[in-house]
Amino acid sequence: MYWSGYNVVGELISFTLAMLVLFLMMHSNPRRTRLFIFDKAGIWVSMVAIWVQIILAVYCKHPEYYQKWVFDSLCLVYLILYMVLLILLISYINLLDIKNWIYARGYLWTVGVCSVMYLAVVISLLEAGKMYEVTEGTIRFRWFMPTYLGFGIVSCMMCLIINHFGRTSLPKIVRTYIKIFVWSDFVLLILQLRHQEVIFSSLTYVLPFTIFYVMLHNNPYDGPSGCQGKDAFDAIVARHVKGAKEFVVIYISLPQLLKLDEGGITNEMEMAGLEACRKVEKLQKEIGIYRLNHATFAVFGEISKMHAQDFLIEMKKIMDEASSRAMLNYEMVALKSHPILRNTQMFKSMAVFLFGQARHGMEQSDCRLASEKDYEDFYHYYQIEQVLLDIRNKMNLDDERVLCYMQPIYSVKVSSFQSAEALMRLRMGSEIIYPKEFLEIAEKNNCIHALTCIMLNKVCKRVREIQGKFKFDAITVNCSADELSDWSLHDQLLKIINRNLVDTSKIRLELTERAMFTDYKAALHNVEKLNLAGVQLYLDDFGTGYSNLERIISCPFHTIKFDKSLLHKAVHDSSVDDLLVHMVNVFKKNGFVLLVEGVENREQSEYCIEKGFDYIQGYQYAQAVPAEQIHDYFKKR
């Protein structure tokens, strides 16, 4: 398409591409990072610049309408737009390196100086009348294109310099993309400079913005499901939370899909799940479906509470149909926007929380909008989780949020307290949190080992303070199953004990049966190393699992601790009593010391003494007290 000798097909192609990218930006929930505004602004400015360029070409075709001030104004507008595009491109590349945000002020000064120089050249050429020439019947560009193309070539060099200095902090894939488009732009600018009759310079700025969008902001769709992914979901939730808009999110978990190969051919269950997605889409045009991972979907919609409840009922019918047809199990929870849920991570955490609640209480197919109590319960859960994560990440062995309590243990033989068990509490503001509330959360977030190390350190410090002044055997600390699977655990624990200059015989570890049987070889390795170092081991909660007496006897335990549930049953059940007596005799015969916990009244106390237990722990004798008070239960030396 030639207008007055200028071919503008390249400009029209660039405009079409820019329109397509803008459409995707507006309808695909792109990742809105701090740089997204540069990309979006670049596309808008590109579209305006292209049309100004086309209008100039059209004007050249009709010199009869020529007016100097109009043509000069159009040239100036385009050149300023081109300058803005160069600034946006260079800024985007410069700020891809996070550390450059710190030096943004210096960069702004540089951009300001370069912009002034650019404008000075442009205005001086316009004043001199060298941008174009008007002859009989024609208008031809002279220095117009070489001016902006020259600055474009300089900008390419600047981008290469920025890429070079960012080679230690920019990801390799990002640096590769920058090199590709910069050298492509450089070649296009040179070609444009040599073939000015064919205008395609817009490709040099539309293509980079398109690459930025595809590479760093685009949220592609999942092929089989036709759903956008987690990034798109995070983007739309973040935007609605920021805008304080009301919306509902319904999470659907299909746990059986986790067992399928994500890259393989879908089977009947996955087909049923994907067909359910199609049916859900048809229920309401305002909703969107997102695939967060292979087995979890999220349905998002701006719908009122009453409408949402009706929508849930229809969704449940669809999922029940899929479940009955393909034996597809599903779980579903629904959340609405709420002041407590301030970001996408909190939505995800609350969904996990509600799924857990559902498995413990609700029927699997039940689904309802979360109630106000659900939000309150979750917020309490979330606060505990954040405290635990902070404790784990800081790994301060003296962390004051981990409180050490101790429950004295009564020795039947000497009729006095001879040891104690360290019990953990968590301080959250002014509130004291008990283990039943936070241990499961700590396990889910891999915080248990950090808590064990902190507790051991606090126990060692207290032991060091009282070991020369009071008579006691030792203080016991609990250790989890997951920790014992770490072959180096014994090294970590012994370092803490030795750092506090405490005799290893004054520290004992309590291990559960589950801990011993989860990874038996690793657990036995740690137990033997600790035992050789002088740390005696207790087998905790005996009687709560499937006890393997042969394996327990083969392990170097010093003490067997009977769980209170076994005691409470044995007191009133003769068959359990016979079993308990048998186990006591077996352990005694093999040289174990026996301890029973949960003794709450005189009847249980007398029963334990009669059956031959060596140590007794429970409220009948003493409750847990802060570690600073434990010396009150021991005799002075």
Q: Please report whether residue 260 resides in a domain.
A: yes
Domain end marker among 150, 184, 217: 217
Which tens digits make up the pLDDT trace of 117-164?
A: 888 888 888 888 788 777 766 777 788 888 888 888 888 888 888 777
Same domain flag for 341 and 404: no
Q: Please report whether residue 377 resides in a domain.
A: no
Cα 416 to chain center, whole Å? 51
User: Is residue 451 pLDDT above 90, yes or no?
Assistant: yes
Question: What residues have CB less than 8 Å from 61, skipping those under 6 apart?
Answer: 3, 4
Q: Which two tokens stand for residue 497?
A: 């004990």
Supply the pLDDT for residue 363: 44
Which tens digits make up the pLDDT trace of 380-400?
A: 999 999 999 999 999 999 999
Same domain flag for 432 and 353: no
Q: Please report whether residue 376 resides in a domain.
A: no
- Sign of dihedral through CA atoms 519, 522, 525, 527? negative
Same domain flag for 272 and 123: no
CATH number of the domain residue 502 falls in: 3.20.20.450
Mean residue pLDDT of the chain comes to 85
What pLDDT band is residue 115 in, cutting at 50, 70 and 90? confident
Q: Please report whether residue 323 resides in a domain.
A: yes
- Sign of dihedral through CA atoms 402, 408, 409, 411? positive
10-36 average pLDDT score: 85
Same domain flag for 323 and 439: no
Which tens digits make up the pLDDT trace of 37-51?
A: 888 999 999 999 999
More confident residue, 384 or 264: 384
Q: Which of 50, 94, 78, 60 is nearest to 151 (CA)?
A: 78
DSSP state of 555: S
The share of the chain scoring above pLDDT 90, in percent, equals 35
Same domain flag for 195 and 286: no
Same domain flag for 535 and 619: yes
The number of domains in the chain is: 3
Q: Report yes or no: 599 and 567 within 8 Å, Cβ to Cβ.
A: yes
Supply the pLDDT for residue 599: 94
579-598 average pLDDT score: 91
425-434: long-range contacts, CB 8 A cutoff, minimum separation 24:
426/384, 426/387, 426/388, 426/401, 426/402, 427/400, 427/401, 427/402, 427/403, 428/383, 428/384, 428/387, 428/401, 432/403, 433/384
322-330 average pLDDT score: 81
What pLDDT band is residue 491 in, cutting at 50, 70 and 90? very high
Q: Report yes or no: 542 and 560 within 8 Å, Cβ to Cβ.
A: yes
Supply the pLDDT for residue 364: 47
Same domain flag for 13 and 45: yes
Supply the pLDDT for residue 98: 65
Same domain flag for 442 and 582: yes
Q: Which two tokens stand for residue 184?
A: 């492509």
Name the percent of the chain in helix, strand, coil, to the closest 5.
60, 15, 25
Q: Please report whether residue 224 resides in a domain.
A: no
Which tens digits make up the pLDDT trace of 62-79?
A: 777 778 888 888 888 988
d(CA 521, CA 266): 39
Cα three-residue angle 512-571-615, rounded to 5 degrees: 50
User: Is residue 518 pLDDT above 70, yes or no?
Assistant: no
Q: Please report whether residue 382 resides in a domain.
A: no
Bridge partners of 291, per DSSP, are: 297
d(CA 284, CA 248): 13
Q: Please report whether residue 477 resides in a domain.
A: yes
Supply the pLDDT for residue 262: 46
Same domain flag for 205 and 234: no
Same domain flag for 34 and 169: yes
Q: Please report whether residue 379 resides in a domain.
A: no
Same domain flag for 104 and 125: yes
CATH number of the domain residue 311 falls in: 3.30.70.270
Secondary structure of residue 243 in the 3-state scheme: coil
Structural domain harbouring 593: 392-636
pTM (two decimals): 0.69
Same domain flag for 403 and 435: yes
User: Is residue 600 pLDDT above 90, yes or no?
Assistant: yes
